[in-house]
Structure 1
Amino acid sequence: MANRKAELAERQARLAAIQAAQRKSERKRTTIIAAAVGALIVLLVGATIYFLVQQNRVNAELREAAEAPIDGVEEFADQTQNHVEGDVEYAQNPPVGGDHNAVWQNCGVYAEPVTEENAVHSMEHGAVWITYDPELPADQLEELTTRAANNNFILLSPRADLPSPVVLSAWGVQLQLQEASDPRAGVFLEKYVRGEQTPEPGAPCSGGTGTPE
Structure 2
Amino acid sequence: MNRALVGLIGVLAVAIVAVAVVLLVRDDEERPEADIVGLQRFSDLGNAHVETAVDYEQSPPVGGDHVGAWLDCGVYTDPVADELAVHNLEHGGIWLAYDATALDESQVAALAEQVPDNGIMTPYDGLESPVVVSSWERQVALDGPDDPRLVTFVDTYENNPIAPESGLVTCTGGVGAADAASVAEQLGL
For the aligned residue pairs, the C-alpha RMSD in angstroms reads 1.5
**Paired residues for 1:3-14 under 5 Å:** none
Show structure 1 runs of 5+ residues with no match: 1-65
Contact 1:76–1:172, Cα closer than 8 Å, also in 2: yes
Is structure 2 residue 154 aligned with structure 1 residue 207?
A: no
For the residues of structure 2 that align with 1:186 and 1:143, how far apart are their CA atoms? Answer: 13
> Are residues 1:156 and 2:121 paired?
yes
Write the mapping of 1:46-195 to structure 2, written as runs, cut at 5 A.
68-135=34-101, 136-148=103-115, 151-195=116-160
**What is the aligned length?**
145
Change (3 A) 1:200 1:177: same
> Normalized against structure 1, the TM-score is what?
0.65
1:174 aligned partner, one-letter code: Q
Relative to its length, the structure with more helix (as a share) is: 1
**In structure 1, what is the Cα distance between the partners aligned to 2:127 and 2:92?**
22
Larger-Rg structure? 1
Q: Which amino acid aligns with 2:76?
A: Y
Structure 1 residues 103 and 71, CA gap change in structure 2 (3 angstroms): same
- Report the AA paired with residue 52 of structure 2: G
Pairwise CA distance, 1:86: 1.8
| Cα distance between partner residues in 2 of 1:192 and 1:74 | 13
C-alpha distance in 2, partners of 1:179/1:73? 15
Once the two structures are TM-superposed, the CA of residue 163 in structure 1 deviates from its matched residue by 1.9
In the alignment, structure 2 segments of 5+ residues that lack a partner are 1-31, 179-189
Normalised by the size of structure 2, how large is the TM-score? 0.73
Identity %: 42
Distance (whole Å) between structure 2 residues aligned to residue 173 and residue 99 of structure 1: 16
Q: Which amino acid aligns with 2:160?
A: G
The 4+ residue runs of structure 1 with deviation greater than 4 A are none
Residue 46 of structure 2 aligns with an amino acid whose one-letter code is T
Change (3 A) 1:152 1:161: same
Shift in Å at residue 67 of structure 1?
6.1
Native 8 Å contact 1:93 1:163 kept in 2: no
The answer to whether the 8 Å contact 2:136/2:160 transfers is no
User: 2-side partners of 1:126 and 1:145: how far apart?
Assistant: 19
